[in-house]
Amino acid sequence: MNRIRIATRQSRLALWQSEHVAEQLSQAHPDLALELVPLSTRGDEILDRSLAEIGGKGLFLKELEAALLDGRADIAVHSLKDVPAESPPGLVLSVVLPRANWVDWWLNADGLSPEQMPERARVGTSSLRRQSQLLRMHPEFEIVPIRGNVQTRLGKLETGEVDAVILAAAGLERLGLKVPTPLPLRPPEFLPAPGQGVIVVQCREGDAEILEHLACLECAETRARVEAERAVVAALGGDCRMPLAALAEIECDRLRLQARLCSPDGRECLDARVEGSVAAARALGEEAAELLKGAGAMRILSRL
């Protein structure tokens, strides 16, 4: 093989990530020709309705996955946190790159922390996970749904349409976007999305040549962490639209996993913490999901 075609969305972040994978591959395999195949997805096209309304898991992925399945591209690059827990038949998440900064940033034009904000501050986010964790600490805040790419969301802050936004540090750092005094939202108050900050490469199952070329990109530690985090999502039958947060961290071959499911208004919040060997990453995720179920997770999910 001498060429790999990379299916990509066309947002600046998606292009950055795809080009990053292309660069890594060309460093490892200098003779390889790498070609971007830019595609547009339904999720990118429909911006005036909420994701919940247009529905469907993996809305941003479908067109890329179709391109892999019908042979228009060989690999697709995604933000792992946007990828549903279950892969479509015939496709696999072949490699995960080393995790970047996983925190969420609180961004506000005057550099005020959530505590310093005026009451009833308007906060832009369309993520139930961010909304619920924020409302839990600040029930008086008003949540304003905003969608669109990272630049669009920052724009709403600049025009004063909202008083603050929450965005993933990873996306802003990758794009090198200048932002007003970012304030990290961290555990225990605030947990990231499962897989946040992780780029994943998807390809056809059993495509041995491609898999062989990709293998050098894989980060084993990141793989174990996201296996644990994503096992929680899978066991709860969920996707990235659920108000579910999870973070696995590894120290000396021990994996510590925190998972949290909140009601969208933040009034109910279930927490699970488990710890075990790195080799048991997936089982630890399932264990955390069982703890959440025991505490009433299905009741929260059935009301969404």
Catalytic residue among 74, 82, 163, 207: 82
3-state class (DSSP) for residue 31: coil
Provide the minimum distance between the beta carbon of 241 and ligand PBG in the complex, in angstroms, as a whole number.
Answer: 10
Neighbours of 126 (CB within 10 A): 17
Question: Segment contacting ligand PBG (CB under 6 A): 37-45, 191-199, 222-230, 295-303?
Answer: 191-199
Copy the structure tokens of residue 147.
Answer: 């969608």
Q: How far apart are CA 87 and CA 151, in angstroms?
A: 29
Site string for ligand PBG, 155-174 (x = CB under 6 A): ------------xx-xx---
Q: Closer to ligand PBG by CB, 168 or 234: give it.
A: 168
Angle made by CA atoms 207, 10, 172, in degrees to the nearest 5: 105
Q: Closer to ligand PBG by CB, 95 or 274: give it.
A: 95
150, 175, 214, 292: which one contacts ligand PBG (CB under 6 A)? 150
Does position 79 bind ligand PBG by CB under 6 A? yes
C-alpha distance from residue 174 to each of 156, 163, 168, 178, 225 (Å): 20, 24, 10, 11, 21
Provide the minimum distance between the beta carbon of 37 and ligand PBG in the complex, in angstroms, as a whole number.
Answer: 20
Provide the minimum distance between the beta carbon of 101 and ligand PBG in the complex, in angstroms, as a whole number.
Answer: 9
Copy the structure tokens of residue 87.
Answer: 């892969």
167 secondary structure, DSSP code? E
Site string for ligand PBG, 171-190 (x = CB under 6 A): x-------------------
Question: Segment contacting ligand PBG (CB under 6 A): 63-71, 78-86, 202-210, 256-264?
Answer: 78-86
Copy the structure tokens of residue 145.
Answer: 């749904």
Does position 197 bind ligand PBG by CB under 6 A? yes
65, 74, 82, 287: which one contacts ligand PBG (CB under 6 A)? 82
Residues 79/199, Cβ–Cβ less than 8 Å:
yes
Active site residue 82: yes
Residue 245: name the closest of 118, 123, 128, 155 by CA.
Answer: 128
Q: Closer to ligand PBG by CB, 46 or 283: give it.
A: 46
Q: Closer to ligand PBG by CB, 79 or 202: give it.
A: 79
Plot region of 256 (φ>0 → left; ψ -120 to 50 → alpha; else → beta) = beta
Q: Number of C-alpha atoms within 13 angstroms, CB side, residue 36?
A: 17
Provide the minimum distance between the beta carbon of 209 and ligand PBG in the complex, in angstroms, as a whole number.
Answer: 27
Q: Closer to ligand PBG by CB, 9 or 136: give it.
A: 9
Collect all residues with Cβ–Cβ distance below 8 Å to 70 and sequence separation of at least 6.
none
Residue 274: name the closest of 226, 223, 228 by CA.
Answer: 228
Q: Report phi then psi at 107, rounded to 5.
A: -120, 130
Q: Closer to ligand PBG by CB, 5 or 174: give it.
A: 174
Question: Segment contacting ligand PBG (CB under 6 A): 38-46, 131-139, 196-204, 284-292?
Answer: 196-204
CA 20 to chain centre: 17
Q: Number of C-alpha atoms within 13 angstroms, CB side, residue 153?
A: 27
Q: How many residues in the shown chain lie near ligand PBG by CB under 6 A?
A: 11
Does position 274 bind ligand PBG by CB under 6 A? no
Catalytic (active-site) positions:
82
By CB under 6 A, name the binding residues for ligand PBG: 79, 81-82, 150, 167-168, 170-171, 196-198
